[in-house]
A and B are shown apart, each in its own frame.
Chain A
Amino acid sequence: MAVGTQYLAEQPKLRTSSMVLGAIAIAALLAAPFFFYPVMLMSVLCFALFACAFNLLIGYVGLLSFGHAAFFGGAAYFTAHAAKVWGWEPLSAILLGVAGAAAMGLVIGFVAIRRQGIYFAMITLALSQMFAFICLQVPFTHGEDGIQGVPRGYLLGILDLNQPLAMYYVTLAIFLFGFFAIWRIVHSPFGNILKAIRENEKRAVSLGYRVDRYKLGAFVMSAALAGLAGGTKAIVFQFATLTDVQWQMSGEVILMTLLGGIGTLIGPIVGAGLVIALQNYLAASDFPVLVLIGIIFVICVLLFRRGIVGEILEFTRRKSKSAA
């Protein structure tokens, strides 16, 4: 059983009900800031998008990147620098972050897709660590301090993002844009070829597909979307630091996806919400976060590899199968 092969996209007959559920979810997200602390919600949205971007690669191409922090944190640096030092408008600063992450994705992906499976994971980890070392040394990232005090600014020169609600709805819009972009990619002919590659790479090659190009394409898209999440996070939290480029961050996004359900559309969102909530909760106690994250990893791998959403889907699938 390969990672992520358990789940293809949800069946088409569920489409009506999933549209209703989607509408309810969007309504809930629109109302959420009136019930929850907006900063925490925005944090969840940024990480949820990051996890969805990561899941695009593992869930639909079967490639485990252990270096996605480079794109997330790298974009955060680019966006923060553009907004603070060059005084760019926030959306264009975020787009610069996306472009930077995509360019990095092209370079790292070009090297990493030369090996598969376990090697791919090690190579992406090593290359992202190299990027983290570079970030520590080059002047524009300000080393251990990071880029602090990034102005949120005015969106398109009009909307004041220092208003918490305005910032929240912009973040939500960016998240929804990213999420639907992923949904489109997964359900496009391109996405179908990716799934074919994941199921049986040799067959895809023999059918004449330039498998490496498709993999690289998916890698760049995943990197760009991770960059969208990272750039947005830099504007929301007004800083970019080394934390976001280090391997622990790559580990966190893997955990979010694994916990929620690899290869499910909404699993990474559930996983991100849970992990962020847990971290916030633990921040008040003195229990070491790293230990807890490690324990969740071990439990997920040993007991429910499908993740929460994956297990629920499997359960309902079995139930409907036995009922039929």
Chain B
Amino acid sequence: MSSAPLLEVRGLNAWYGESHVLHGVDLDIHEGETVTLLGRNGAGKTTTLRSIMGILRRREGVIRLRGEDLLRLPLHKVAQAGIGYVPEERGIFASLNVSENLMLPPTVSEGGMSVEEIYTLFPNLYERRSSQGTKLSGGEQQMLAIARVLRTGAKIILLDEPTEGLAPVIVQRIGDVLVALKKRGMTILLVEQNFRFAKKVADRFYLMEDGRMVNSFPGHELDARMDELHEVLGV
């Protein structure tokens, strides 16, 4: 791919208070691509997502979305630039019901999924649309967290460990959803520990260690690199 990347991260440094947690991270994602960040716990994967979103404020370097500099934007303008965020802790609101949770993120551009399409994709959510958001099962909450950003018309979504702690059948279901999204041309940046799941959807992998990008390779090389990965990831 020779065209300019949709999301471009260059030399990203970030700090939690005084501690320096990201050291010059580089990352490119092209339109329609699904890219997965691998790494041990504490390698800086979630921090990278939070830095791109602007939730972590103390950053230096370059973050560009379609050439627009995100680093200088106030937090709420980052989403408006076209990014959808599915946080690790899912972030379902207890004081909102399922439908309110779904409708919460404001539309950021044309072309998002309609509510009908979303409910077709996630029939469980339709059935439970009047329940309190946090009364859903873990899997349903994860579906809701993903569904929520599909409505907004975001061009790229950041997914932080969507399969964590979920039963295999639900993981399967989420995998199907991501494949369906890929088919629609959605760009996805995924943080994932589950190789088998990631292999199904990822076009490319990045490997992180101690707040640095240490390697990157295309998706089909995953099997060949298993031994190397097991060593780095300690699994």
Are A and B close enough to touch in the complex, i.e. CB under 8 Å? no
Q: Which residues of B contact A (CB under 8 A)?
A: none
